[in-house]
Amino acid sequence: MIWAAPHPDAGRLGPAGPPPLDRTLTPLTAMKNLLCALALLLAANSAAHAQNAWTDHARALPDKLRQVPVGLTLWHTPNPNYPEPDPAQPGRFVWKHSTMVRNEVGEPLQVVECGSFIWYSAAGWQANLTQTPAEFATLFGCPRGQLRPGQVYTFAKNYRYAQNAASLYGGDALWYILARDAAGKLYKGFGLIETEAAVR
């Protein structure tokens, strides 16, 4: 520890304590402090984003999905879904389910975004994941993310994993897809899957 030179008045008004600390920051210390502050800011922003996914608790849907017309049917099977031992990795568990979507609009739609919200506590809907149109195209076998009318596209192995029995928990996931028509009108599709904690 480096001590600064004592103040001339030190000790005149009572017993002298240790001299004041030198508060001069070295460039390395300043950089560390800046990085720590930045990390805290990013963490707070991420937490705020997750909490802001569902701001009106008097309404059932997260904000992103409200006031967008339904044009897609989205569902999961089996639903409800129960964990089972993962044969590929002993000790782990897997919830095996598939997710399907069908365009009901009557004209081609271009996927804008795919994702999910999760509900596993009294806090309600939390943002979970977001997939780009390219990721959607790969996962759902939908070339270029273009949804043809009446065609069903399937994410066959939309699995959830748990590292061990202690990490099994139930919760609901609200999957959604947003897509636009040629005129730019946005449509949604969403489907709830119940994932349970009990192994069957």
Residue 105 within a domain: yes
pLDDT score for 12:
37
CATH number at residue 185: 2.60.40
Residue 43 within a domain: no
Instruction: Kindly provide the b/e burial profile for residues 156-185, where b requires at least 16 CB atoms within 10 angstroms of the residue's own CB.
Output: eebebebeeeeebeebbbbbbbbbebeeee
Percent above pLDDT 70 for the chain = 74
Residue type, 33: N
State pLDDT tens for residues 152-187: 999 999 999 999 999 999 999 999 999 999 999 999
pLDDT score for 25:
52
Residue 97 within a domain: yes
Bridge-based pairing of strands 160-162 and 171-180 is unpaired
Q: Indicate the pLDDT class of residue 42, thresholds 50, 70 and 90.
A: very low
State pLDDT tens for residues 99-147: 999 999 999 999 999 999 999 888 899 999 999 999 999 999 999 999 9
pLDDT score for 176:
98
Residue 171 within a domain: yes
155: domain range? Answer: 63-195
Q: Is residue 45 scored above 70 in pLDDT?
A: no
Residue-averaged pLDDT of the chain = 83
Q: Which two tokens stand for residue 6?
A: 């004592």
pLDDT score for 121:
87
Q: Per mean pLDDT, which range of 17-21, 56-60, 64-68, 107-111 is the poorest?
A: 17-21
Query: How many domains would you assign to the chain?
Result: 1
129: helix, coil or strand? strand
Residue 177 within a domain: yes
162/36: higher pLDDT: 162
Bridge-based pairing of strands 72-77 and 98-103 is antiparallel
**What's the chain's length in residues?**
200
Residue 31 within a domain: no
